[in-house]
A and B are shown apart, each in its own frame.
Chain A
Amino acid sequence: MDGERDTVVVIDDDYAMRLSCQQTLAKVGYGVEVFEDGARGLDGVATLKPGLVVVDLKMPGLSGMDVIARLHDIDPSITIIVITGYATIGTAVDAMKAGAYDFLPKPFSPEELRVIVRRGFEWRRLQLESRRGELDRELMRRRFVTFVSHQLKTPLVAVHQYLDVLRRLGDAPEAAARRAEWLDRCLVRTDELQRLIEDWLTLARLEGGALVRQRVRVDLKEALPRMLAGHEPLAATQQVTLTHELPAPAYPVRGDPICLGVLFDNLIANAIKFNRPGGCVRVKGELAPGEVIVTVADTGVGIPPDALPFVFDEFYRARQPTGRRVEGTGLGLPICRRVATEMGGTIEVESAEGVGSTFRVRFPACADGDGAPDDGRNP
């Protein structure tokens, strides 16, 4: 096992070669064990678990090539250096194709041996590190997938539990009294699951680049008022006023009109939902050097300071003062962020509890004459 000292196993039927390799490598701090034939060498490797093996290609009995094949069975990550006679360079190349790291033709100097062994260990460390990185990434991916499946399962679990209890309790008084309420909750939770799946698909498509179909010039001066108008019915039921301030002649950005629609629909809908009766939502446009900045401000409950760092995280839903989590899938803001990023922009939020929140989206400005002209297909 590679502990504090890197261990090398040398397999060669020539006694002098074994001795000289051992002395050369031990002198610079490697742990070295030598074996006189392939069979003993393989046993030794299985026991000692060295990081690197030096093996002579031409040996009686088990040949170097056989040893290489079996070494990989014992330890796929083991690093192999083959020693060859001058006449067997072709075989050495075959050995490398079979998985050897490098070859060393005889005669070689002690320094040549040391250099090749050192390079072998460096290469091995890189291999192991990248594999560890892969393992970490795989673990993270698995945890994330489990987390997502949990989020999607939760509403389904609630529905199943309600239906099962209703079925078992039958006409018992507890059940009869609550049947209407529980069936209602089942419908609410299935709607929730539907929205979760839709939002999750949207996010997945954004990540995969499937939703961003076009990069055309979109003038937000036309697009934003149209989007706001679409939310008027909802705003009316919530007694919230929608206003916009877009004083400049144009607010041109480059992106996909549908994705821009998704981004601002989410922000505007949130601003209405988390507002108070009589409150307002103000959408403002600003121009800065090379930038178009849009803010969506509400006069609502605001976001608690300890929730602020997490609002753009997938599935995150802040807790209200009541302790209840806010309604929603928790995917709206991650979707907004994804769209903004796709367009080379950023999104951030400022908020004060009891006062309201302001979401600020910055886009790179689309220089006039840059790309296709606005084709009128604004969301």
Chain B
Amino acid sequence: MPATGARTDTKTVLVIDDDRDFTTAVTAVLEREGYAVVVADSGREGLRQLRACHPDLILLDVMMETTTEGYGVNEAIKYSDEYRAYQSTPILMVSSIQESPDDLFPRAPETDMIRPDRYLTKPLDIPKFLEVVRKALGR
């Protein structure tokens, strides 16, 4: 329950990450800031929830079932016809990998789509994370 009670302009964040401890901690942080949070533990579940709850922002882990699952989800949302309605939803990608995606996947076309200001490393620096979320939501 958002700390400030239900508001008509409550923003919803969809968290797609297969580590339930990480999502539990992040959910607590976001809910305290007044966001509603929906959690999905896989790319597939995340895309299902995308349709179900129309989030205002997506927090997306890179490595889930496979090493690049997050990139696949990002690509589906940004580039496929199927998810066209959600194309403009801001996506923050997170990973414990410190390197930039370019170093890790130099030949992957996916890296072109990742904006540097939307790629956060885990563990999240909470004040910085909340600032990035605010900016992405245009607040």
Q: Are A150 and B96 in contact (CB under 8 A)?
A: yes
Q: Does A323 contact B (CB under 8 A)?
A: yes
8 A Cβ contacts from A159-196 to B: 159-162, 164-165, 168-169, 172, 174-175, 178, 182, 185, 189
Number of interface residues of A (CB under 8 A): 29
Q: Are B96 and A157 in contact (CB under 8 A)?
A: yes
CA distance A355 to B97 in the complex (A): 39
Provided the pairs A157-B96, A157-B122, A164-B123 are in contact, do residues A325 and B18 lie with their beta carbons within 8 angstroms? yes
As a 0/1 sequence over residues 46 to 86 of chain B, the CB contacts with chain A under 8 angstroms (1 = contact) are 00000000000000000101010000000000000000000
As a 0/1 sequence over residues 127 to 168 of chain A, the CB contacts with chain B under 8 angstroms (1 = contact) are 000000000000100110011011001100111111011001
Choose from A146, A172, A189 the contact partner of B21 (Cβ within 8 Å). Answer: A189
CA distance A178 to B97 in the complex (A): 28
What total of A-B pairs shows CB separation below 8 Å?
67
As a 0/1 sequence over residues 20 to 33 of chain B, the CB contacts with chain A under 8 angstroms (1 = contact) are 01101110110110
Provided the pairs A154-B19, A185-B21 are in contact, do residues A160 and B123 lie with their beta carbons within 8 angstroms? yes
Q: Are B96 and A323 in contact (CB under 8 A)?
A: no
Q: Does B6 contact A (CB under 8 A)?
A: no
Q: Are B18 and A161 in contact (CB under 8 A)?
A: no
Provided the pairs A150-B96, A157-B96 are in contact, do residues A143 and B126 lie with their beta carbons within 8 angstroms? no
Minimum CB–CB distance for B112 against chain A, Å: 19
Interface residues on B, range: 20 to 34
CA distance A147 to B41 in the complex (A): 19
Question: B42 contacts which chain A residues (CB < 8 A)?
Answer: 323
Question: B126 contacts which chain A residues (CB < 8 A)?
Answer: 164-165, 168
Choose from B32, B95, B99, B124 the contact partner of A172 (Cβ within 8 Å). Answer: B32
Question: B63 contacts which chain A residues (CB < 8 A)?
Answer: 147, 150
Q: Are A146 and B97 in contact (CB under 8 A)?
A: yes
Q: Does B137 contact A (CB under 8 A)?
A: no
Choose from B3, B45, B123 the contact partner of A157 (Cβ within 8 Å). Answer: B123
Provided the pairs A146-B99, A147-B67 are in contact, do residues A323 and B21 lie with their beta carbons within 8 angstroms? no
Provided the pairs A157-B122, A323-B41 are in contact, do residues A174 and B31 lie with their beta carbons within 8 angstroms? yes
CA distance A268 to B104 in the complex (A): 38
| CB nearest neighbor in A for B45 | A323
Choose from B3, B26, B104 the contact partner of A161 (Cβ within 8 Å). Answer: B26
Q: Are B104 and A146 in contact (CB under 8 A)?
A: yes
Question: A146 contacts which chain B residues (CB < 8 A)?
Answer: 97, 99, 104
Minimum CB–CB distance for A175 against chain B, Å: 8
Q: Are A161 and B25 in contact (CB under 8 A)?
A: yes
CA distance A168 to B32 in the complex (A): 11
Q: Are B21 and A158 in contact (CB under 8 A)?
A: yes
Provided the pairs A143-B104, A161-B22, A325-B18 are in contact, do residues A153 and B32 lie with their beta carbons within 8 angstroms? no
Q: Are A161 and B96 in contact (CB under 8 A)?
A: no
Q: Are B67 and A154 in contact (CB under 8 A)?
A: no
Q: Are A158 and B45 in contact (CB under 8 A)?
A: no
| CB nearest neighbor in A for B104 | A146
| CB nearest neighbor in A for B122 | A157
Question: A160 contacts which chain B residues (CB < 8 A)?
Answer: 123
- Please give me the 4 A-B residue pairs with the lowest Cβ-Cβ distance, nearest first: A158-B21, A161-B25, A160-B123, A153-B96
**A–B Cβ pairs within 8 angstroms, 20 of them:** A139-B106, A143-B67, A143-B104, A146-B97, A146-B104, A147-B63, A150-B96, A150-B97, A157-B122, A157-B123, A158-B25, A159-B21, A161-B25, A172-B32, A174-B31, A174-B32, A178-B28, A182-B24, A182-B25, A323-B41
